[in-house]
Amino acid sequence: MEPLIKLHGVERSYPLAGGRSWVLRNIDLVIDEGEFVSVMGPSGSGKTSLLNVLGLLDAGFQGEYHLAGQAVHLLNGKQRQLLQRDAIGFIFQHYHLLDDLTVAENLDLPLSYRNIKSGERKALVGDILDRFQIVGKKDLFPRQLSGGQQQLVAVARAVITRPKLLLADEPTGALHSSHGTMIMELLAELNREGATIVQVTHSLANAGYGSRTLQLRDGWLQASP
């Protein structure tokens, strides 16, 4: 079976006074459908940069990236946007909820970009509020929630469309351990239901929820043990 993700010779750099600053170096990586992969490495080693490439948020890389059989490096902006909409859920390092939308409106947003009837959208939002036990918060704005609750909403928003590929950038970074455990268990459950997950984490305990761990150092992917 074709792997879900295949990177070949992927590099990312930014112009820097007089030269370039290298962020990702010659990355070769294969991830099969259904895997739960953790990415670790020191601050600044390129973890978020790698996730941004995988999540089609950054098209400025060199090399080849195949996702679900599509050659991402050959797609135009519109095609990338559609693939992202249909295949990817992203949980950001900082929650990225929209401040002037309520919890329910934030959750409805990814659905609104799709061709889904409003009744069905309401039902999906209701289901996910239930599943994440945040029904009581649905009419509140993000600033009225604790950090942990905001992150729960961010996770709910990332999974409401049931993406094939779920990318999570330190999903529990800012949370107390009980909320953190809850989010990790939710990710594990989504993985059992079929989602492929790539998570960035600084915590060995969280990495343990995945089935293998990648190490980044100065933009280089270290050989797996």
Ligand X SMILES: Nc1ncnc2c1ncn2[C@@H]1O[C@H](COP(=O)(O)OP(=O)(O)OP(=O)(O)O)[C@@H](O)[C@H]1O
Q: Rule CB under 5 A: which residues touch Mg ion?
A: 48
Task: Kindly tell me which of 151 and 161 has the beta carbon lying closer to ligand X.
Answer: 151
Task: Kindly tell me which of 41 and 89 has the beta carbon lying closer to ligand X.
Answer: 41
Residues forming beta bridges with residue 200, ordered by sequence position: 39, 169
Q: Tell me which of Mg ion, ligand X, none is bound by residue 155, counting a contact when its beta carbon lies within the kind-specific cut-off of 5 to 8 angstroms.
A: none
Q: Tell me which of Mg ion, ligand X, none is bound by residue 21, counting a contact when its beta carbon lies within the kind-specific cut-off of 5 to 8 angstroms.
A: ligand X
State in angstroms the smallest separation of the CB of 173 from Mg ion.
Answer: 9
Supply 12's token pair.
């990312």
Q: Tell me which of ligand X, Mg ion, none is bound by residue 210, counting a contact when its beta carbon lies within the kind-specific cut-off of 5 to 8 angstroms.
A: none
Task: Kindly tell me which of 106 and 206 has the beta carbon lying closer to ligand X.
Answer: 206
Q: Which of residues 1-60 bind ligand X (CB under 6 A)?
A: 14, 21, 23, 41, 43-49
State in angstroms the smallest separation of the CB of 93 from Mg ion.
Answer: 5
Please identify the residue of the shown chain whose CB is closest to the bound Mg ion: 48
- Helix-helix angle 147-159:103-112, to 10 degrees: 20
State in angstroms the smallest separation of the CB of 145 from ligand X.
Answer: 23
Q: Tell me which of ligand X, Mg ion, none is bound by residue 118, counting a contact when its beta carbon lies within the kind-specific cut-off of 5 to 8 angstroms.
A: none
By the 10 Å C-beta count (0-12 exposed, 13-18 middle, 19+ buried), 119 is classed as exposed
Contact, 148 vs 175, CB < 8 A?
Answer: yes
Task: Kindly tell me which of 41 and 180 has the beta carbon lying closer to ligand X.
Answer: 41
Task: Tell me the C-alpha distance between 104 and 49, whole Å.
Answer: 30
Beta-carbon-side half-sphere exposure of residue 27 (alpha carbons within 13 Å)? 35
State in angstroms the smallest separation of the CB of 127 from ligand X.
Answer: 32
Task: Kindly tell me which of 128 and 155 has the beta carbon lying closer to Mg ion.
Answer: 155
Told to check if 113 binds ligand X by CB under 6 A, we report: no
State in angstroms the smallest separation of the CB of 216 from ligand X.
Answer: 7
Task: Kindly tell me which of 58 and 64 has the beta carbon lying closer to ligand X.
Answer: 58
Phi/psi for 51 (5° steps) reads -60, -35
State in angstroms the smallest separation of the CB of 14 from ligand X.
Answer: 4
Residues that bind ligand X (CB under 6 A): 14, 21, 23, 41, 43-49
